[in-house]
Amino acid sequence: MRVLHVRPPKIMGALEESMVQHPVNLLYLAAAARQAGQEPFVWDFEVEPFSEKIVKDRAREVSPHLVGITCLTCNVKMGARIARWIKEETPDVFVAVGGPHGSAIPEKTLREFPDFDAVIIGEGERTWAELADKLEKGVTLDGTPGLAHRRGEEIVVEERRPLMRDLEELPFPARDLIDHSLYRGASSPGLDATYYRSTELFSSRGCPERCIFCASKVTFGRTVRFRSPENFLAEVDECMERWGYRHFTIEDDTFTYRPGRLAKICRGLKERGVSWDCDTRVNLVSREMLFMMAESGCQKVAFGVESGSPEILAKLKKDINLEQVRKAFKWAQQAGLITTAFFIIGGHPSENFEDVEMSAELIKEIDPDLMAVAIGVPFPGTELERLMKERRLVFSEQWEKYTHIHSRPCWRTEHFSPRDLVKLQNDLFRRFFLRPHFIAKTMKKAMSIRGVRYYAYSSWQILRYLFLEKRN
């Protein structure tokens, strides 16, 4: 079986053009297909040339038996278009879609997009391998856990497949299937990719938190499963030895669960002399932990703050407080780490101007090195979607608009129109990036040949986004 794995192009604007990450989730699926005896291929149209002709030419060349397309909500329409193009060249191919969008609404996805033959629901590796095996043997797909599929005119949604208990049963991602030279952008903003040549790693899967805006629970539920430090570091070794990577962006939803395990990983990373960065929560760090991370090679830590309003934080079910935010940023800055703060505009439909102003004041107070403001998106399957629809705030399901940046929403909140949401987002960006204090800090960092090149390019991307990019 020739099994093809596809990542469609995503809706990119100035802020994302230089931040392309390896398709690690697809590479896990490809490794699972290879382990099951199939021949895997990977097309990543976030970095490879893309057009209808290119897709069709490559489809004729590979002539795949099975195609898996991973889709976010914003690019599911493009994924369906790719499926149609491939089927026009190889009519007998079976095409499945995976990712959070299809996992949240599998039956609706198959009804809306007839070129998808099935949806992989939730964690995909075992379902993917079983699907390939059944197609190869020509047996019925009925009874395949984790799959939604067509049976004639009927759509069958099978029961969800239980999550894997032991992540170490998975082979390492099949990084040999991608052209590493195409991934030239910074996988993590704030780190110069020409110096920090990086790949991404997962040391765990899932998140037990309750945030109403997050779609992670759609795929992995509210559980978190961990790889052992030894298994994780073995993948680090492979990346160093086979591909020469010396920086690692750890993509866990929250990396600092289980401090004892974290300490072992930090010791291993320090012994290897590599650098790394991660995301975590302000209530799951201590001063000692952040200093330990910095000593082991951590360059940057990102925190999801979301709002400066205690009332909105409670409504978001974020389960943090402002004092924890202040302490986490103070400790990280004392440890010499680059800090990023994530905020959301419209993360809860009741947010008002006073709440947004509290966020602006908090950003000024904690003074992160970098800051990102997302517009809250009612992704399928989230509690935020339920709230927005109950209050009749969603105008349409124009999936391509379901992005945090780069487009005008097709929804509103109780106090903000779509235009207001975009204006408030841009206003917070301007108030942060155009402050004399931020400009002075950035110029100080840029006082080197490498720094001038990186910060000049990054500044141009920010200015393009704020003043030249149009939102439709």
The residue ranges of every structural domain in the chain are 2-157, 186-467
Assess whether pLDDT exceeds 90 at residue 456.
no
Span 345-353, average pLDDT = 98
At 448, the pLDDT band (50, 70, 90 cuts) reads: low
Backbone torsions φ then ψ of 183, nearest 5 degrees: -100, 80
Residue-level pLDDT at 184: 77
Q: Give which of 71, 68, 101, 110 is closest to 86, Cα–Cα.
A: 68
Assess whether pLDDT exceeds 60 at residue 193.
no
- Our measurement of the distance from residue 399's CA atom to the centroid of its chain's CA atoms, rounded to an integer in Å, reads 17
Assess whether pLDDT exceeds 80 at residue 105.
yes
8 Å CB contact between 167 and 214? no
Residue-level pLDDT at 129: 97
| Residues whose CB is less than 8 angstroms from the CB of residue 198 and which lie 6 or more positions away in sequence, other chains included | 186, 187, 188, 191, 245, 246, 247, 248, 249
Span 260-286, average pLDDT = 97
Angstrom distance (rounded) from CA 367 to CA 286 = 19
Q: What is the pLDDT of residues 388-425, one digit of tens each?
A: 999 999 999 999 999 998 889 999 999 999 999 999 99
At 443, the pLDDT band (50, 70, 90 cuts) reads: confident
Strands (E), 251-399: 275-280, 298-306, 338-345, 370-375
| Residues whose CB is less than 8 angstroms from the CB of residue 335 and which lie 6 or more positions away in sequence, other chains included | 287, 290, 291, 293, 294
Backbone torsions φ then ψ of 400, nearest 5 degrees: -65, -15
Span 204-233, average pLDDT = 94
Assess whether pLDDT exceeds 90 at residue 352.
yes
Residue-level pLDDT at 195: 64
DSSP 386: H
Q: Give which of 432, 428, 407, 429 is closest to 418, Cα–Cα.
A: 407
Residue-level pLDDT at 13: 56
Topology of domain 2-157, per CATH?
Rossmann fold (3.40.50)
- pTM of the shown model: 0.94
CB < 8 Å & 24+ apart, contacts of 204-209: 204/167, 204/252, 204/253, 204/255, 204/257, 205/123, 205/163, 205/167, 205/252, 206/163, 206/253, 207/253, 207/254, 209/253, 209/254, 209/281, 209/317, 209/318, 209/319
Assess whether pLDDT exceeds 80 at residue 81.
yes
At 468, the pLDDT band (50, 70, 90 cuts) reads: confident
Assess whether pLDDT exceeds 80 at residue 112.
yes
Residue-level pLDDT at 458: 73
Least confident of 18-22, 189-193, 299-303, 306-310: 189-193
Angstrom distance (rounded) from CA 369 to CA 354 = 24
Tell me the pLDDT of the chain averaged across its residues. Answer: 93
At 385, the pLDDT band (50, 70, 90 cuts) reads: very high
Angstrom distance (rounded) from CA 140 to CA 311 = 52
Residue-level pLDDT at 221: 84
Strands (E), 161-308: 198-201, 204-205, 225-226, 247-250, 275-280, 298-306
Least confident of 52-61, 158-167, 398-407: 398-407
Topology of domain 186-467, per CATH?
TIM Barrel (3.20.20)
Assess whether pLDDT exceeds 80 at residue 25.
yes
Span 287-311, average pLDDT = 97
Assess whether pLDDT exceeds 60 at residue 12.
no
Assess whether pLDDT exceeds 70 at residue 275.
yes
DSSP 47: T
- Our measurement of the distance from residue 345's CA atom to the centroid of its chain's CA atoms, rounded to an integer in Å, reads 19
Angstrom distance (rounded) from CA 405 to CA 342 = 13
